Amino acid sequence: MRFVIVGGGPAGHQAATYAARLGAKVTVIERDVLGGAAHLWDCIPSKTMIATGGALSFSRRMAGMGLDATESSVDIEALASRIGEITHHLQRNVSELLTSQGVRIIMGSARFTGPHSVHVDGPDGPEQIEFDTALVSTGSRPRIPEWCQPDGDRILTTRDCYPPKVIPESITVIGSGVTGVEFVHMFSSLGSKVTLVVSRQLVLPGKDAEVAAVLEDDFLRRGVKLLKGARAEAIERDDDGNVVVRSDDGRVVRSTHAVLAIGSVPNTDALDLAAAGVIADAGGYIPINHHCVTNQPHIYAAGDVSGKLPLSSVASMQGRKVAEHVMGLHTIEHRHLDYDKAASAIFTEPEIADVGLAEADAFATGRKIRVTKVPFATTAKALINDDPRGFVKIISDPATGQVLGGSIVGRHAAELISVIALAVTANLRVSDIVESLLVHPALSEALAEAAE
């Protein structure tokens, strides 16, 4: 089985590793770095900067932990090299893993030339590669609207923020979805004055309103300005080099920098999908079935290009499912990917995580649910941590006790949600959580209490 994978991000390298382990002859073609945008620009650098911001805000709260408070400051060069080291380390891990599985790696840009062939402009010159099966896992890039011309200096996309050259004195974040609020948190904890342009009345559209409200309160407490009901429609530099953002209702925000966080577009335009007979939708995303198969039975799409949930974790799992299907394992043991059961997190402070059915969705469909909510303040560990913010909310079926979903706001929410995610995926009941012998003192005690 000659299996060619275009794009070595989470979807591509996961598919490559599993398929090679199962006996396929795998070639991965990657134009930038193995590990993909996830390692180079998205998940890893943003979370590394957020971790430094978190350490800084913790240092400001040290007095509450019985320590002498000292004033820490950011060493921008050290932070930049820390990001470089972490991403380099992760890229090397991916490269070594693929090589150890016998995967051929070609660094270059690929495009289809027929239903069973791709052309690569690699370091050793152009090459034509034939395949039996292919995977398109070329990811996505930041969406840039026609009214904005990022300059990489003061008007930024999320990708221009790493490695950081300066901590902006002030920054306007445009877009209040997951990426936007993470950037608000990141820059505000590193010391920038932040304004968030929110096109609706609440941040995080589509998320639990109660969760979004907690986050807004925290932003306001930290001095973040929220420009609500404002749709940005122009960005320019003034004579002093500052950035001026204008909204459709005439409001104006001035700051030293601005960053766009208004979604992404798929990397499919340069692939010549038509040569392979693969159909993309009007937005450039490639429709797939539950096995990640495109309209061509031997060509798969996974990760951001598939237009499903744009998460690295989902991309990886899709890659794994593709490998199973390519190698025929789905006929033996295969669980379809259920995107409604994907856990996700927002790395703000407090951290936010959710999985499965949301309260609002249940009310919208009239489904009967039981909602239980326990604040972390009831646990000893929250007091020990000097951080009683947030809560655990579990949504279950009142008749059967089956766990349907949940959300967590508070410290380590991204880790703690795993318990509810497992319960949702394995169809466990609330009593299964209650009867688990958990650790004391731990934040997970709030989970057990919420499951009561």
Ligand X SMILES: Cc1cc2nc3c(=O)[nH]c(=O)nc-3n(C[C@H](O)[C@H](O)[C@H](O)COP(=O)(O)OP(=O)(O)OC[C@H]3O[C@@H](n4cnc5c(N)ncnc54)[C@H](O)[C@@H]3O)c2cc1C
Count of CB atoms within 10 A of residue 430's CB?
23
The contact mask relative to ligand X for 273-292 (x = CB under 6 A, - = no) is --------------------
Single residue of 4, 43, 262, 323 touching ligand X by CB under 6 A = 43
The contact mask relative to ligand X for 300-319 (x = CB under 6 A, - = no) is ---xx-----xxxx-x----
Part in contact with ligand X (CB under 6 A); list of ranges 132-140, 287-295, 355-363, 374-382: 132-140
Single residue of 3, 4, 5, 8 touching ligand X by CB under 6 A = 8
Place of tokens 């059915």: 357
Residue 150 parent element (H or E): none
Give, as one character, the DSSP assignment of residue 239: T
Single residue of 47, 185, 257, 308 touching ligand X by CB under 6 A = 47
Q: Distance from CA of residue 239 to its chain's centroid?
A: 36
Part in contact with ligand X (CB under 6 A); list of ranges 35-43, 206-214, 232-240, 417-425: 35-43
Single residue of 30, 218, 354, 445 touching ligand X by CB under 6 A = 30
User: Which is nearer to ligand X, 28 or 423 (by Cβ)?
Assistant: 28
Distance CA 364, CA 358 (A): 10
Query: Least distance (Å) from ligand X to the CB of residue 157?
Result: 9
Contact between 285 and 266 (Cβ < 8 Å): yes
Single residue of 21, 22, 32, 256 touching ligand X by CB under 6 A = 32
Place of tokens 């445009």: 174
For 326, the token pair is: 């390519």
Distance CA 16, CA 292 (A): 15
- Cα dihedral sign for 138, 141, 146, 152? negative
Contact between 258 and 245 (Cβ < 8 Å): yes
Give the residue from 118, 125, 126, 142 showing the smallest Cα distance to 28. Answer: 118
Count of CB atoms within 10 A of residue 168's CB?
23
Q: Buried b / exposed e across 278-293, counting CB within 10 Å, b at 16+? A: bebeeebbbebeebbb
- Decide if residue 271 touches ligand X (CB under 6 A): yes
DSSP per residue over 24-87, as a string?
-EEEEEESS-TTHHHHHTSHHHHHHHHHHHHHHHHHHTGGGGTS--------HHHHHHHHHHHH
User: Which is nearer to ligand X, 53 or 139 (by Cβ)?
Assistant: 139
- Decide if residue 390 touches ligand X (CB under 6 A): no
Number of residues that bind ligand X (CB under 6 A): 36
Single residue of 4, 11, 245, 301 touching ligand X by CB under 6 A = 11
The β-bridge partners of 135 are: 5, 300
Query: Least distance (Å) from ligand X to the CB of residue 414?
Result: 9
Part in contact with ligand X (CB under 6 A); list of ranges 7-15, 73-81, 195-203, 326-334: 7-15
Query: Least distance (Å) from ligand X to the CB of residue 192?
Result: 17
User: Which is nearer to ligand X, 36 or 164 (by Cβ)?
Assistant: 36
Contact between 139 and 226 (Cβ < 8 Å): no
Distance CA 27, CA 98 (A): 10
User: Which is nearer to ligand X, 258 or 433 (by Cβ)?
Assistant: 258
Query: Least distance (Å) from ligand X to the CB of residue 441?
Result: 28
Query: Least distance (Å) from ligand X to the CB of residue 203?
Result: 16
- Decide if residue 117 touches ligand X (CB under 6 A): no
- Decide if residue 354 touches ligand X (CB under 6 A): no
- Decide if residue 7 touches ligand X (CB under 6 A): yes
Largest CA distance in the chain: 67
User: Which is nearer to ligand X, 150 or 401 (by Cβ)?
Assistant: 150
Query: Which residues are at the interface with ligand X (CB under 6 A)?
Result: 6-12, 29-32, 36-38, 42-43, 46-47, 109-110, 137-140, 158, 179, 267, 270-271, 303-304, 310-313, 315
